[in-house]
Chain A
Amino acid sequence: MAEADAVFLDGLTKRYGERTVVQAVSLGLAAGERLALLGHNGAGKTTMMKMMLGLVRPDGGRVRVLGRDPAEAAADVRRSVGFLPESVTFYEAMTGWETLRFYARLKRRPAEECRALLARVGLAEAAARRVGTYSKGMRQRLGLAQALLGAPRLLLLDEPTTGLDPELRQSVYAIIAELKAQGTAVLLSSHLLTELEERTDRIAIMNRGRLVGLGTLGALREQAGLPVRFRLKVVNGNATAVADRLGSLVLERVPGELGVACPPRDKMDVLRAIAGLGALVEDVEVVPPSLDDVYASFTGRPLSEEATA
């Protein structure tokens, strides 16, 4: 973590009146890295992005974006940063093309770039239509196109895939992967956990303004120390025999199946023990703790209920 990184936060704090929305957050984001900010609504994700853009002044700590203070060098910083706000809105009366041209002019980018970007997000054919007639997915894609103007060195994406169908989500992550390859740092916030697995390098878990967990998914799993679960399919009538052999590890019993759990470090031992049972066990399934479980263990509450709300 160095000040010259794409993003460098040191003890960042923001208060709105009595409420502390971001509390002493320190983290760094290097070029070409993808970091997911995970948290409930109101966990402070959007406020952190606004501070990185110089739109909101921190009450404590330091922000450096591409090595600069966004409050002092706002124009320079924003020229090299792409931002997609949560549920982005545009001027309804303008067409997709006019919208992108307008933003391109503000960033001093040529018209050809707009054409290429519209094609890249699959809006080339809808470019002449008014944004007011666009679907949610099309707006989101136009939002992504404007964020990509000027080949930014840092992308801030606030809930980029909310409201998109699975196919569009895939294409958003495909674009993010391409950008990573070009060395762009990507900071994205989400409360959709399952889609983040495998698609981000590191995950930062926010809870009520605090950074409660930071690392790769694997490291976070380890840190959480959540049990690994096994589901055993047992040949009829052998359940009791199997349960006796595995002893206290057994968590639950249903006809024909046994649920077994153990700490992550004992996983191989337990697997060997199960293998040693021979023909008593018909099938075994290993279930690592999901990102949902990891999140819940860091924040003390599950995320999924809100994600579906």
Chain B
Amino acid sequence: MSTVLVIAGKEIRDGLRNRWVLATTLLMAALALGLAFLGTAPTGSNVAASRLAVTVVSLASLTIFLVPLIALLLSFDALVGEVERGTMLLLLAYPVARWEIVAGKFLGHAALVAIATTVGYGVAAAAVAYTTPGTGAEDWKAMGALIVSSVLLGAVFLSIGYLLSSLVRERATAAGLAIGVWLVFVLLYDLGLLGYLAATEGKGLSEAAFGWLLLLNPADAFRLFNLTGVEEVRQFSGMAGVSRQASVSPAALMGALLAWILVPLVLTQLIFHRRQL
């Protein structure tokens, strides 16, 4: 176990040293603050939802675009990059099991994503709560759930990134695939689903099938979890109807995210374990 921590510690130090964490935190805080104070302006003051609940809805959309990208950028290089640069050969000559390398990198990178997300969104949430009185415990709960699930979503894409990194022989290929994965999960999947539903006038899918299809995309699972999990948010996001139709419980959504973390991670280990250097 301590070997895993040594490797995780190195990744965290790398992230802090090359200012990756700083840059990402600033980016997330800036975008979050922007959304919180500008993005909610059109809602006016006569909407029943609190400002923080509105912010949670905007930040959930921001997370879906930004966090997977950030996570993939961290992870696509993790294995193939070290193999290509030659540092992997020496690392593997040490008493280090391959699963310890995968687990160590995952822990370290997940910690970096967690730091950036918690600080970046935390700053925005605190600023919103400070400037608008009447932020209730329920709002903070929604915010907490958003941050935790954002980190989970990041972990999902870290995990997918490692899988890409273990599959290919060149960094450039991994980078290309990472962009493809991002496009598919964040944009194309929903577009396709929407297109299909529009073409079949909504009759092409049963409600259960629709729910399952949303679970098959971690970004959708994340969206559904945040927009339907908390009553106040649900009302504002206009998802009250969807969540009932989709008939997927928050626990199932969380389970989907966890499965999306574990399955690619295990596959990565299986592939990396067999790889000869």
Contacts and interface: CB of A to CB of B under 8 A. Distances in A.
A286 to B, nearest CB: 45
A90 to B, nearest CB: 7
Interface string B22-63: 000000000000000000000000000000000000000000
A102 B91 CA distance: 10
Contacts of B130: none
Interface string B227-241: 000000000000000
A208 interface: no
Given A57-B276, A91-B87, A106 B14 contact: no
Given A50-B277, A57-B276, A106-B6, A89 B85 contact: yes
Contacts of B14: 91, 93-94
Contacts of B17: 93
The residue in A79, A93, A105 that gathers the most chain B C-beta atoms within 10 A of its C-beta is A105
A42 to B, nearest CB: 16
Interface in A54-95: 55-57, 74-76, 78-79, 81, 83, 85, 87-91, 93-94
A55 B276 contact: yes
A146 interface: yes
Interface string B168-184: 00000000000000000
A125 to B, nearest CB: 22
A85 B89 contact: yes
A107 interface: yes
A117 to B, nearest CB: 15
B136 interface: no
A53 B276 contact: no
A192 to B, nearest CB: 21
Contact of B94 (A91, A94, A106): A106
A145 to B, nearest CB: 12
Interface residues of A, number: 27
Given A50-B277, A56-B276, A105-B6, A83 B90 contact: yes
A146 to B, nearest CB: 7
Contact of B90 (A76, A93, A94, A146): A146
Contacts of A53: 92-93
B93 A85 contact: yes
18 contacts: A53-B93, A55-B276, A56-B276, A56-B277, A74-B97, A75-B96, A87-B86, A88-B86, A88-B90, A90-B87, A91-B14, A91-B87, A93-B14, A102-B10, A103-B90, A105-B6, A106-B95, A107-B94
